[in-house]
């Protein structure tokens, strides 16, 4: 009797519950599963956690009786994620290292390594889904397949915001086994499989670096440059350590003078890197109205997962949904212009706290269309110095 060949898949085991459950589910479904831990870079002065995470990943592989590998991508991570992060902050922008970690590490160097080793699929513990669409090619009888990236079932855990750089090539060779479950169900599966990390807490912080104080991290690479904190009237109300260290919407890390026990929390509503100032205001209706309102943004480094979105015309405009922060409520937008390099996105309702350097990701229903990096923010006039 001829043996049915099973599909060979390499699961990126991070040491956490989601990737471990992904591996267990795939094995249960009959895949030929192997696991791999990605060793990334960490500076000497940060607590080293990768060895503990790798040990947890090894325990999972041993429990599931699957081969285990360690893929050292520390050089790639330092070059493409850590250096990018420092470079963007130095330029006054707010980067998104988790997006670049997926682009250059998990679905960059790791994906390429897996394909070169002969694996048919790569799998991760991301909360997302992939859907195949088969269409007939006219006038022939051939078929074409398009892959759509869909939001995870658990809206609170959906991670498509970090996956907008994926291409058709990636989606054709990628599996997201936990994307069709809510987190609580994933936990139950982990316990059902008896995984040794079933009750491990979710990881927090920057991709692979874990929890860290971003300002303390950056001060190892960027010198402090003390400046003043302004209110929305242009009055000096405090001091800070350098405008490049801060991002819009941030509440901590600067000093406000003459505070009282009943003083309202202050949030950064604008920053001027050239003059080294930041502007703050409380989140009260009267003060918030004085904060800059972003009407539209210009995106670069664009990627459309499948088909590019439609551009608005005088006769019609397709309304999409978008977010520029993880777990942010989706907002309505239209595309006012688009080419291969630049896309201009207009908000249906002007938005506050839109930081340059972050990703803006577009959706149509549950489908993640793709997105880009916010290169420019066009705001209403506001005094920043």
Cis peptide bond upstream of 212, omega within 30: no
Cα dihedral 288, 292, 297, 298 sign? negative
| Alpha-carbon distance values, 62 to 50, 176, 194, 195, 307 (Å) | 18, 22, 12, 10, 42
* CA proximity to 192, closest of 61, 15, 25, 11: 25
Buried b / exposed e over 16-43, threshold 16 CB at 10 Å, is bbbbbbbbbbbbeeebbbbbbbbbbbbe
Does residue 15 come out as left (phi exceeding 0), alpha (psi in the -120 to 50 range) or beta? left
Question: Which among 48, 101, 343, 379 is annotated as catalytic?
Answer: 101
Catalytic residue status for 101: yes
Please report which helix (H) or strand (E) contains residue 13, including its range. none
Q: What's the helix, strand, coil split of the chain in %, to 5? A: 25, 30, 45
Catalytic residue status for 207: yes
* DSSP H helices in 5-82: 17-28, 50-64, 74-77
Active site residues: 101, 207
């Amino acid at each position: 009797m001829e043996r049915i060949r099973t599909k060979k898949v390499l699961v990126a085991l991070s040491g956490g519950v989601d990737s471990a459950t992904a591996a267990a589910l795939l094995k249960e479904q009959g895949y030929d599963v192997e696991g791999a831990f990605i060793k990334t870079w960490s500076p000497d002065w940060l607590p080293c956690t990768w060895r503990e995470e790798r040990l947890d990943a090894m325990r999972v592989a041993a429990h599931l009786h699957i081969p285990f590998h360690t893929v050292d991508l520390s050089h790639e991570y330092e070059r493409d994620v850590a250096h990018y992060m420092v470079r963007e902050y130095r330029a006054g922008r707010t980067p998104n290292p988790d997006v670049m970690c997926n682009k250059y590490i998990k679905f960059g160097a790791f994906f390429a390594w897996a394909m070169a080793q002969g694996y048919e699929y790569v799998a991760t513990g991301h909360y997302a889904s992939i859907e195949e669409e088969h269409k007939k090619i006219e006038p022939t009888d051939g078929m074409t397949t398009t892959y759509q990236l869909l939001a995870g079932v658990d809206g609170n855990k959906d991670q498509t915001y970090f996956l907008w750089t994926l291409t058709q090539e990636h989606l054709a060779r990628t599996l997201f086994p936990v994307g069709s479950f809510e987190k609580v169900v994933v936990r139950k599966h982990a316990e059902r499989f008896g995984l040794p990390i079933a009750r491990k807490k979710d990881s927090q912080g920057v991709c692979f670096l874990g929890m860290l104080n971003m300002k303390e991290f950056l001060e190892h690479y960027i010198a402090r440059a003390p400046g003043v904190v302004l209110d929305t009237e242009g009055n000096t109300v405090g001091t800070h350590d350098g405008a490049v260290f801060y991002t819009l919407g941030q509440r901590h890390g600067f000093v406000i003078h003459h505070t009282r026990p009943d003083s309202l929390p202050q949030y950064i509503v604008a920053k001027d890197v050239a003059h080294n100032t930041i502007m703050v205001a409380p989140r009260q209706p009267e003060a918030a109205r004085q904060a800059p309102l972003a009407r539209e943004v210009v995106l670069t480094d664009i990627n459309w997962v499948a088909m590019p979105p439609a551009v608005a015309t005088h006769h019609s405009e397709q309304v999409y949904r978008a977010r520029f922060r993880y777990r942010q409520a989706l907002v309505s937008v239209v595309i006012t212009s688009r080419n291969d390099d630049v896309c201009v996105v207009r908000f249906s309702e002007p938005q506050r706290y839109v930081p340059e350097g972050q990703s803006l990701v577009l959706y149509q229903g549950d489908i993640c269309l793709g997105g880009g990096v916010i290169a420019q923010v066009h705001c209403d006039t506001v005094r920043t110095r």
